[in-house]
Amino acid sequence: MSFPTQDLSIILGKHIIYTYENGWQYEIYFKNPEMVHYRIHSGLVAGRWVTNREVHMTALGHGIVRVNWVEPVGNIVTMVTSLQERWLHSYFLMPQWIIDNPKATVCHEDEFVEEMLKLREQGPTWPMNIAENAFAEITFLEDVGPDRDDIITCPPDELPAGYADRKN
């Protein structure tokens, strides 16, 4: 049996904006094999942004990469992406406390990790809600190179008008 070569060069350094079938819009930068930055433009927790989220990436073959991570708030995320075909699919589990109080997570999470951990511990963490957004279309894709800290640096409401509407 031969498994896919773990060449992640297809995704590293890429910056994308994508829109799920339900209309929620997100943005992510694949900084390096262990880290992503992301920003949420619309949806339940619009306005939230994160830098240096630790992730695990796996090349699945045929240009498809899976990215997994666990967030301090308690979310568990799996994203499968095909940049070549310009789609992705996310599946995440969201603890009940976020469903009950989504605005509590709208911040630059990196600056409030201790507060997020306290909120998570207060719960309720159960049930874990399946927030399967199904497929998303990648509407904007650029190669900005790996290991940059200047790609996602502010919340969505500080971006220039039309920033998230760019298409290519």
pLDDT at 39 over 80: yes
- Domains of the chain, residue spans: 14-144
Over residues 108-125, the mean pLDDT reads 93
Torsion of CA 131, 132, 135, 138, to 10 degrees: 30
Q: Which two tokens stand for residue 150?
A: 């200047």
Q: CA 3, 34, 30, 156 torsion: positive or negative?
A: positive
DSSP type of residue 83: T
Query: CA 85 to CA 71: how far, in whole Å?
Result: 28
The answer to whether 168 touches 38, Cβ cutoff 8 Å, is no
pTM (two decimals): 0.95
Residues recognised as catalytic? 26, 71
pLDDT at 1 over 90: no
CATH, domain range 14-144: 2.40.128.20
Q: What amino acid is encoded at 72 in this protein?
A: P
Give me the percent of the chain exceeding a pLDDT of 90. Answer: 95
The confidence score (pLDDT) of residue 106 equals 95
The confidence score (pLDDT) of residue 132 equals 67
Q: Mean pLDDT of all residues in the chain?
A: 95
